[in-house]
Chain A
Amino acid sequence: MEQIAFASIAAFTLACALGVVLAKNTVNGAMCLLLCLAGVAGLFIQLHAYLLAFLLVLVYAGAVVALFLFIIMLLGAHGGQPWRFRAFQAFAGVVAAALLITGLDMISLRGKTDAGPPVAGAGVGSSLKLYADQLFTTYLLPVEVMGFLLLVAMLGVIVLSRRPTEGEATE
């Protein structure tokens, strides 16, 4: 039963992820991304990581994809150059995916990290506290670094989007 549920949710997620890349219409692509995120949330729920599942829905499905759609609507769904799938990009994508899978495999099989994700085996009631404890002890440095990176990215966006003169305004 669990295997069937996992297989169907995983297949659904992968199909939606392909849809994001291959969709001609950008709105369809964004909706595929939304469904893909819902599928990932479903996988998290199967792992009993309810907090992660709902945070994913709240932040990514509820706000980030909505902003994507907002931008798509402002720019117009048919604006811009149609993106073409080239052999080089496909090759790069395959290499990147292989590297990612190898990395995940190394971490999960060889147990390189000291404290694994505190999800598995933890009771539902205690998971929230466990997450918080881990975030503020074991993973404090990564969290801070990520926060700093996001700050840098935000400053970069502000600098890049500032228009020096009216004549150079680009759509």
Chain B
Amino acid sequence: MADFFFGLPVLLQAVLKGIAVIIVIFPVAAACSMAERKVCAWIQGRPGPNRTIFPLFRGIPGMGVLQRLGVFQLVADGLKFLFKEEPTPGHVNKLYYTLAPVIAMVPAFTTVTVVPFGAYLGSAGSVVPLSLANLDIGILAVFAVASLGIYSLILAGWASNSKYPFLGSVRASAQLISYELSMTLAVLPVFLWVNEPGSTGSLSLARVVEFQSRAGFWGGTWFLFTMPVSAFIFAVALFAETNRQPFDMAESEADLVGGFHTEYGAYKWALFFVAEYANMIVGAGVFALLFLGGWNLLPWVPLASLLGWLHHATGSALWLHPLVAGIVSIAIFIAKILATLFVFMWVRWTLPRFRYDQVMRIGWQKLLPLSIANLIVYTVAIALMQR
């Protein structure tokens, strides 16, 4: 199976990988919107969507659970977006109006390819990371491609040719650029630490996980514990970059109706939200890789030792099989992403939205100096430590 895949022409492989990304991420991102509604309902003490069901499924036992979880509501919403009439307002710039949701989707899905999502045990006990495209400049590629997502907001707001979307996109463009700085500066200490003297320099995300799964107390510590300030700045900037609640200036339904997507409806509108959730998934994944130890179950318990223990406890060599190891590591990684996404939603339904001037003040006057100070402190500390 694997040999057959790698025997295919490179272009065909790339197309297949792209289709795989769309098939996996699109429904998951859509499911996130349902999870959001359920988490919101749970926090607000109400049941949330729990009525929808296919008429034919009503008699089947076990379907009631899915019904109460809102699974069918998700399907109904998806179909509704597909079959709804999709009017294009007469006053818009048609080219950019249509292009904006597409531009939102492309960077969100492209970044998925460079994020490693699991590992398996190769020969001689080495841990081989799994990813669609293993780039040496991993984190830079994620930042570079993700930063292109801003054009969807700008073009959507400009092409809509009306006041609220325009204000939303002007806010979005200023906000995203402001927080990108702090975000980049916050991850620098991690890569300074990982690139020890004598090693070949690398910005690969898999390398960061490898570093967090070494033996010994300091080797196995997640960067969340050794660099809490970096993790905090990165998380806050991530909220701002993905336009999540305390920072959702671009959308801000209380004062801007819907911000950049006010003039959008039906499937184009849904595409913006799938892209937003896809961005959140990738962001949560990068956070898990950088600060939460990637595919290691617990701090000081790397994947290799976990599988080794399972092997000894059950006496079955099945645990060391690459396929099983891969599934275990992917499951651990996905669990971490889901936990991070839950925090995203938890914050959204807990904190009120900032005012726009507060967003700018936090970005430039609080977060940026903090991240620069953090960088300087860690640079000195790492230089002394790795001397």
B binding-site residues for A, Cβ under 8 Å: 96, 135-137, 140-141, 143-145, 147-148, 150-151, 154, 157-158, 166, 169-170, 173-174, 176-177, 180, 200-203
Contacts and interface: CB of A to CB of B under 8 A. Distances in A.
Contact of A70 (B137, B143, B145, B154): B154
Given A66-B176, A69-B154, 15 more contacts: A27-B96, A54-B141, A58-B147, A61-B144, A61-B148, A62-B148, A63-B177, A66-B173, A66-B177, A67-B177, A70-B170, A125-B202, A126-B200, A128-B201, A128-B202
B137 A34 contact: no
A73 B202 CA distance: 39
A90 interface: no
Contacts of A70: 154, 170, 173-174
Contacts of A61: 144, 147-148
A67 B140 contact: no
Interface string A110-127: 000000000000001111
Contacts of B154: 66, 69-70, 73
A57 interface: yes
Interface of B is mostly: helix
B113 to A, nearest CB: 14
A55 interface: yes
Q: Most chain-A CB neighbours within 10 Å: which of B144, B150, B177, B180?
A: B144
A62 B173 contact: no
Nearest to B159: A27
A12 interface: no
Given A67-B177, A74-B170, A54 B140 contact: yes
A143 B173 CA distance: 29
Contact of B158 (A27, A62, A63): A27
Nearest to A126: B200
Given A54-B140, A55-B144, A124-B136, A129 B200 contact: yes
A50 B135 contact: yes
A148 B321 CA distance: 57
B148 A57 contact: yes
B173 to A, nearest CB: 5
A58 B143 CA distance: 7
A125 B200 contact: yes
Contacts of B150: 62, 66
Contacts, number: 75
Nearest to B146: A62
B180 A63 contact: yes
A12 to B, nearest CB: 17
Interface residues of A, number: 25
Contacts of A129: 200-201
Given A125-B202, A128-B202, A50 B137 contact: yes
Given A55-B140, A125-B136, A73 B170 contact: yes
Contacts of A27: 96, 158
B173 A58 contact: no
A145 interface: no
14 contacts: A50-B135, A50-B137, A58-B140, A66-B151, A66-B173, A69-B158, A70-B173, A70-B174, A73-B157, A73-B170, A74-B170, A124-B136, A128-B136, A129-B201
A119 to B, nearest CB: 14
Contacts of B157: 73
B193 to A, nearest CB: 16
B200 A63 contact: no
Contacts of A132: 201
Contacts of B174: 70
Contacts of A77: 158
A73 B173 CA distance: 11
Given A27-B96, A58-B143, A34 B135 contact: no
Interface in A125-142: 125-129, 132
Contacts of A69: 151, 154, 158, 173
B371 to A, nearest CB: 16
Contacts of B140: 51, 54-55, 58
A48 to B, nearest CB: 11
A73 to B, nearest CB: 6
Nearest to A132: B201
A26 B147 CA distance: 21
Interface string A33-73: 01000000000000000110011011001110011011001
B137 A51 contact: yes
Contact of B144 (A58, A67, A127, A128): A58
A25 B94 CA distance: 14
Given A27-B96, A58-B144, A125-B200, A73 B137 contact: no
A117 B173 CA distance: 34
